[in-house]
Amino acid sequence: MEGGTTLFSLVVEPITYEDMMESEFEDTEVIEVGPEEGGGEEGFMPRNFALALSYYQKGKDDKILIMVEMDYDTIEEVTPEQFVGDEPVDYSLTFSLISFSHKDLTIKFAFEAYFYIVLYMLMGLISIIFMAVFGLYHRIVARPNQSEGSDAKVAPFKLLSYYSLTIP
């Protein structure tokens, strides 16, 4: 089996049996699951399977599936008796549920769109506040030297040129 081949699909959001029977499968958001790397040639089988489901805990009983990883390990040749099903094939399956942190969810864009709009507006506001503090600090520090007399001028400060660098 080649890497990237879809073996099965998992529904992203929880759904009741009644809702599943009433809706079209094409309308349901799913994540296709398959190995990232190939499982070997015909006559070979991986002995270790690892399936990791990463999710977002939306509520007390609701999990939203974000990412699924499936890996094969220890690929060995299958005997002819095992290949036709006369002998059992021993393998191990490791199944893990991984709850994403808020940082990981933000990176994967798992939250609603309004969250990112507010987040980027706050980041822009904070950068403007930093620029204002930067400008005030340099205006206070760049006072003329009193020993030069009353004709001493403040060094020109190009706040607008610095500000234009931070605004697209």
Three-state secondary structure string covering 35-83: ECCCCCCCCEEEEEEEEEEEEEECCCCCEEEEEEEEEEEEEEECCHHHH
Number of domains in the chain: 2
- Clarify whether residues 101 and 37 are in a common domain: yes
The string of pLDDT tens digits covering residues 15-31 is 778 877 887 767 777 87
List, as one string, the DSSP characters of 106-149. Answer: HHTT-S-HHHHHHHHHHHHHHHHHHHHHHHHHHHHHTPPPGGG-
Encode pLDDT of 141-151 as tens digits: 776 666 766 77
Radius of gyration of the chain (CA): 30
**Same structural domain, 49 and 20:** yes
Q: Is 21 helix (H, G, I), strand (E, B) or coil?
A: helix
pTM: 0.58
Q: Are residues 32 and 80 in the same domain?
A: yes
| Cβ atoms of 77 and 89 closer than 8 Å | no
Please report whether residue 2 resides in a domain.
Answer: no
Six-digit token string for 3:
């890497």
